[in-house]
Chains A and B, each alone.
Chain A
Amino acid sequence: MNWKKPITSSLKSLSLSIALVCAGTYIAHAETVGEPEKEELKFGFIKLTDMAPIAIAYENGYFEDEGLYVTIEAQANWKVLLNGVIDGTLDGAHMLAGQPIAATMGYGTKAHIITPFSMDLNGNAITVSNDIWKKMKPNIPKMADGRPVHPIKADSLKPVIESLASEGKPFKMGMVFPVSTHNYELRYWLAAGGIHPGYYAPHKGDNSGQIDAQALLSVTPPPQMPSTMEAGTIHGYCVGEPWNQQAVFKGIGVPVVTDYEIWKNNPEKVFGITAAFAEKYPNTTIRLTRALIRAAKWLDDNSNANRPAAVKILSQSNYVGADYDVIANSMTGTFEYEKGDKRAVPDFNVFFRYNATYPYYSDAIWYLTQMRRWGQISDDKSDQWYKDLAAKVYRPDIYAKAAQSLIDDKLIPANEFPDFTKENGFKAPQQHFIDDIVYDGNQPNAYLEKFKLGLKKGDKL
């Protein structure tokens, strides 16, 4: 049966040449992203509204458009989620901005995790129990209609903590993870009001973060915050939505300040993958970034016109699962402080505008400054060290490739993105902090010197 051989071999070469021609024309059209190397992916998330880009990319078929078949799985807490990404059970996940940074640095767990996509701006708030609110309220200035003036500063909380302390009672608050945005926001707010949130001393094995603390902060997973506060274990917490609005609905607590008021348009969650994943599957990485960018854009399109539809998706039991009304409260541009005190906060959740999805080095460096400020980084580091670590974790290069291909495909116009030829990854010095301190990502050490509370150059616990 030798006659078969030449035919098959010529067939083979024919098909090969066809393939080559195809590939050639493919490249000639535009510099398109290649086929994904890994098509079946599993992403983890925590039940919070800011996981929305992942849910939308799935539900709107953006992942499928990229040839990616994604399974999305809720995780029990941030630790389980991080371990899942590290050990490969998950290919990627909705992460706290501090998680990839801390993991790459080796604080907590050591693993090289990167982020090509920042998921959102703002979206958190600080809630206190009814009891604390009742004691705080007399210290807060009022508007003409009797409602409290916002933003509420921690100054009004200070006398409450002092009176508790004089009775020998500790003041306890919850946050979601030691390197969470929430931990730093809560600390920032407390410290701006002169309340010491406590230091970490990892070199001594002390990771409780309660050295010298006037407010004891501890870890509670987001969805359990309301019930933990209701049980009286904590007096308040800092968490993402919908768990602040949930407290209002349940009538168990009052959100006093949103993170938008602590730091206007602060970066929140990121999408984290391991560096090894990005290296092994470069096309997959770009493609999933493309899908997420499209989802984020959809969420913000036409000044939040798609938000009600997004809320409906998020309220499904496999995503956030809370009631529609609870999620809608913050997602559709309002925020309810005290029951009935609903105010417009159009930028409470930002997913795309203001270049929200671009992974800025300066954002990573801000987190690092807070890690140093509260002792999670034990020793002084040079400005260069901050920049090097940020560049190791935040990957605007991948983002730019994904964005450029979206521009080439005419899916999103170029003016919706930063100008990639000029962008250096550093935002201009930012001013809108609750304590009016200006942050310049280029000078982390100088920034640290500006704080009244917190470690400074040469300090070591």
Chain B
Amino acid sequence: MKVSKSILSKITNAMLLPVIGITVFLFLWSISAQSIHTSLGTFPGPNAVVKQFSSLYGEHVAEREKAEAFYQRQEKRNVAKQEKNPNYVGKIRAYTGKETFFDQILTSLFTVTCGFLVAAIIAIPLGIWMGLNKRLNSAINPIVQIFKPVSPLAWLPLVTMVVSALYVSDDPMVSKSFLTSLITVSLCSLWPMVINTSIGVSSIDSDLLNVSKVLRLPTLTHIKKIVIPASIPMIFTGMRLSFGVAWMVLIAAEMLAQNPGLGKFVWDEFQNGSSDSLARIMAAVIVIGFIGFLLDRAMLELQRKVSWDKSSASV
């Protein structure tokens, strides 16, 4: 009896309650949407958004067909040029048409991952160093505290100008817009990781430190065997926080700078002012939220895998 009861309550918790929550939310959404009248028509309800998802998919398919035709035309043109001039080396250029909603999702995901990795590569070693060295910590901490609350919208103009000034090349490897998004994301997601890592490292159990002292471990081994494993839970907490920040920052940066990605999609639709715009923005909002949620979950799983302290990796 007791066992079945606990299973039942588990099922309720895991399945039933979320379903109820979502249903109530959808209900409230569709009710309240009907009563909001904007100058672009009524606020889109769940139905309108679902319809937009399918039309966005349709556009994606149509665009792919156009891309196919583009490549065929290009090949034909290259062949014609080669006939005229045997020395001509045909070059295949990427499709120049518009990026669809799904392309924008991929662009955003790629940018956020790169920006986050850059931030992690800088932040984690710096955090460890700060945690180990009290003096360095007191020297750098004020800077971290001052830069931590700076909004991405403030960084963006600076980053844009600096990138345009320094990144000059006739045949650039990556586009400037990608670089500005990436650096802005890194600049904003750096700080939670630095802080958490340094706190994690500086609050390692003194027993562990004493063991290291007794064994006279060399510094690198000390870091590898004692410091990192002991502070992994805190480092991951910082990384999870940072990833959330990075995703939010990226969307804002894309909106403001018109860099390719979901943020640009939202801004373009806002500017279009068509009767579908609001539903499309709402569709994007849902996707942005959903991806943010999945990214967080992915980090959590990673933390569970690498951390010895399973209790630290709870939801």
Contacts of A58 in B (CB 8 A): 96
B39 touches A74 (CB 8 A): no
CB distance from B190 to the nearest CB of A (A): 25
CB distance from B6 to the nearest CB of A (A): 52
B77 touches A318 (CB 8 A): no
Contacts of B177 in A (CB 8 A): 89
Binary per-residue interface labels of chain A (70-89) against chain B in the complex, 1 for a CB within 8 Å, 0 otherwise: 11111110001001000111
Binary per-residue interface labels of chain B (165-188) against chain A in the complex, 1 for a CB within 8 Å, 0 otherwise: 000100000001100000000000
Partner of B272, one of A83, A250, A320: A320
Partner of A76, one of B59, B91, B256: B256
Contacts of B77 in A (CB 8 A): 64, 67
- In the assembled complex, the Cα of A18 lies from the Cα of B88 at a distance in Å of 12
- In the assembled complex, the Cα of A72 lies from the Cα of B99 at a distance in Å of 11
Contacts of A276 in B (CB 8 A): none
Contacts of A198 in B (CB 8 A): none
Is A254 in contact with chain B by the CB < 8 A criterion?
A: no
If the complex has contacts A19-B85, A64-B77, are A47 and B267 also in contact, measured as CB distance less than 8 A?
A: no
Contacts of B5 in A (CB 8 A): none
A47 touches B96 (CB 8 A): no
B267 touches A318 (CB 8 A): no
Size band of the interface chain A makes with B: 35 or more
- In the assembled complex, the Cα of A263 lies from the Cα of B93 at a distance in Å of 44
Binary per-residue interface labels of chain B (86-106) against chain A in the complex, 1 for a CB within 8 Å, 0 otherwise: 110001010011100000000
Partner of A39, one of B93, B267, B275: B93
CB distance from A185 to the nearest CB of B (A): 22
B176 touches A74 (CB 8 A): no
CB distance from A22 to the nearest CB of B (A): 6
Look across to chain A and name the residue whose beta carbon is closest to the beta carbon of B268.
A74
CB distance from A256 to the nearest CB of B (A): 20
Is B273 in contact with chain A by the CB < 8 A criterion?
A: yes
> Would you list which residues of chain A between 307 and 365 have a CB under 8 Å from chain B?
315-318, 320-323
Look across to chain A and name the residue whose beta carbon is closest to the beta carbon of B84.
A22
Look across to chain A and name the residue whose beta carbon is closest to the beta carbon of B93.
A69
A317 touches B268 (CB 8 A): yes
B96 touches A321 (CB 8 A): no
Partner of B96, one of A69, A75, A320: A69
B272 touches A47 (CB 8 A): yes
Is B73 in contact with chain A by the CB < 8 A criterion?
A: yes
- In the assembled complex, the Cα of A230 lies from the Cα of B55 at a distance in Å of 30
A323 touches B93 (CB 8 A): no
Contacts of A67 in B (CB 8 A): 77
Look across to chain A and name the residue whose beta carbon is closest to the beta carbon of B59.
A317
Is B312 in contact with chain A by the CB < 8 A criterion?
A: no
CB distance from A126 to the nearest CB of B (A): 19
Is A15 in contact with chain B by the CB < 8 A criterion?
A: yes
Partner of A321, one of B74, B85, B272: B272
If the complex has contacts A76-B258, A226-B273, are A40 and B93 also in contact, measured as CB distance less than 8 A?
A: yes
Partner of A74, one of B168, B257, B258: B258
A15 touches B272 (CB 8 A): no
- In the assembled complex, the Cα of A19 lies from the Cα of B89 at a distance in Å of 13
CB distance from B90 to the nearest CB of A (A): 11
B272 touches A317 (CB 8 A): yes
CB distance from A163 to the nearest CB of B (A): 27
B39 touches A70 (CB 8 A): no
CB distance from B171 to the nearest CB of A (A): 10
If the complex has contacts A19-B85, A67-B77, are A317 and B269 also in contact, measured as CB distance less than 8 A?
A: yes
CB distance from A339 to the nearest CB of B (A): 14
Contacts of B277 in A (CB 8 A): 321
Is A223 in contact with chain B by the CB < 8 A criterion?
A: yes
Binary per-residue interface labels of chain B (221-262) against chain A in the complex, 1 for a CB within 8 Å, 0 otherwise: 000000000000000000000000000000000001110000
Contacts of A61 in B (CB 8 A): 73
Look across to chain B and name the residue whose beta carbon is closest to the beta carbon of A317.
B272
Contacts of B275 in A (CB 8 A): 323
B59, B85, B91, B274, most chain A CB atoms within 10 A: B274
B96 touches A226 (CB 8 A): no
Binary per-residue interface labels of chain A (215-252) against chain B in the complex, 1 for a CB within 8 Å, 0 otherwise: 00000000110110010000000000000001000111
Contacts of A230 in B (CB 8 A): 39
- In the assembled complex, the Cα of A322 lies from the Cα of B273 at a distance in Å of 6
Look across to chain B and name the residue whose beta carbon is closest to the beta carbon of A251.
B39
Look across to chain B and name the residue whose beta carbon is closest to the beta carbon of A247.
B39
Contacts of B314 in A (CB 8 A): none
A318 touches B98 (CB 8 A): yes
A87 touches B164 (CB 8 A): yes
B271 touches A74 (CB 8 A): yes
If the complex has contacts A39-B93, A73-B258, A89-B176, are A246 and B98 also in contact, measured as CB distance less than 8 A?
A: no
Contacts of A226 in B (CB 8 A): 39, 273
Contacts of B268 in A (CB 8 A): 74, 317-318, 321
Look across to chain A and name the residue whose beta carbon is closest to the beta carbon of B169.
A88
- In the assembled complex, the Cα of A250 lies from the Cα of B275 at a distance in Å of 11
- In the assembled complex, the Cα of A73 lies from the Cα of B59 at a distance in Å of 18
Contacts of A250 in B (CB 8 A): 39-40
Look across to chain A and name the residue whose beta carbon is closest to the beta carbon of B160.
A83
> Would you list which residues of chain A between 35 and 77 have a CB under 8 Å from chain B?
39-40, 47, 58, 61, 64, 67, 69-76
A64 touches B258 (CB 8 A): no
B258 touches A75 (CB 8 A): yes
If the complex has contacts A22-B85, A227-B39, are A64 and B273 also in contact, measured as CB distance less than 8 A?
A: no
Contacts of B273 in A (CB 8 A): 223, 226, 246, 321-322
Contacts of B274 in A (CB 8 A): 315, 317, 321-323
CB distance from B104 to the nearest CB of A (A): 11
B73 touches A64 (CB 8 A): yes
Look across to chain A and name the residue whose beta carbon is closest to the beta carbon of B85.
A22
- In the assembled complex, the Cα of A47 lies from the Cα of B269 at a distance in Å of 11
- In the assembled complex, the Cα of A70 lies from the Cα of B275 at a distance in Å of 29
If the complex has contacts A67-B77, A226-B39, are A322 and B96 also in contact, measured as CB distance less than 8 A?
A: no
Contacts of B272 in A (CB 8 A): 47, 223, 317, 320-322
Contacts of A320 in B (CB 8 A): 272
- In the assembled complex, the Cα of A88 lies from the Cα of B77 at a distance in Å of 27
- In the assembled complex, the Cα of A88 lies from the Cα of B40 at a distance in Å of 36
Contacts of B257 in A (CB 8 A): 76, 80
Look across to chain B and name the residue whose beta carbon is closest to the beta carbon of A327.
B274
- In the assembled complex, the Cα of A317 lies from the Cα of B87 at a distance in Å of 41
Partner of B258, one of A22, A71, A80: A80
Binary per-residue interface labels of chain B (146-158) against chain A in the complex, 1 for a CB within 8 Å, 0 otherwise: 0000000000000
- In the assembled complex, the Cα of A58 lies from the Cα of B95 at a distance in Å of 12
Contacts of B271 in A (CB 8 A): 47, 74, 223-224, 321
- 10 nearest A-B pairs in the assembled complex, by CB-CB distance: A321-B272, A318-B98, A223-B271, A87-B164, A250-B39, A71-B96, A69-B93, A76-B258, A323-B274, A47-B271
A-B contact pairs, 13 of them (CB 8 A): A22-B84, A70-B96, A223-B273, A227-B39, A250-B39, A252-B39, A315-B274, A316-B98, A317-B269, A317-B272, A317-B280, A321-B268, A322-B274
